[in-house]
């Protein structure tokens, strides 16, 4: 998209396309019967990945020093959700070991 001779990315289109893709992936994930809460955590990871990439294309971002705030929040959310999935699975395996008789 060109405005006043300057080329801009249609980030709203990219974000809409990404959100539709994430929705379809989450519907597929639901069929595999994940642990309770993993669909939500997967949404947080996938949405944040898309947000991180798309935010890099925007021209009107909020900066904190050299880094964009939205990208920082996205990185923290991705790391937190992955850590929570790993923790919950590890705790789930330990709980199953304790219950076997």
Each residue's pLDDT tens digit, 56-93: 998 888 899 889 999 999 999 999 999 999 999 998 86
Average pLDDT, the chain: 89
Strand ranges (E), the chain: 2-3, 6-7, 63-64, 67-68
Q: Output the pLDDT for position 101.
A: 42
Inform me whether the pLDDT recorded for 15 exceeds 90: yes
Q: Output the pLDDT for position 97.
A: 60
Inform me whether the pLDDT recorded for 45 exceeds 70: yes
- Identify the bridge partners of residue 64 per DSSP, sorted by sequence position: 67
């Amino acid at each position: 998209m060109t405005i006043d001779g300057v080329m801009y990315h249609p980030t709203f289109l990219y974000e809409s396309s990404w959100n539709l893709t994430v929705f379809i992936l989450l519907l597929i994930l639901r069929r595999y019967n994940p642990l309770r809460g993993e669909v939500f955590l997967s949404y947080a990871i996938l949405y944040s990945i898309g947000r991180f990439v798309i935010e890099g294309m925007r021209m009107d971002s909020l900066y904190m020093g050299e880094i964009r705030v939205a990208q920082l929040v996205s990185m923290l959310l991705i790391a937190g959700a992955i850590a929570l999935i790993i923790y919950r699975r590890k705790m789930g395996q330990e709980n199953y070991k304790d219950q076997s008789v």
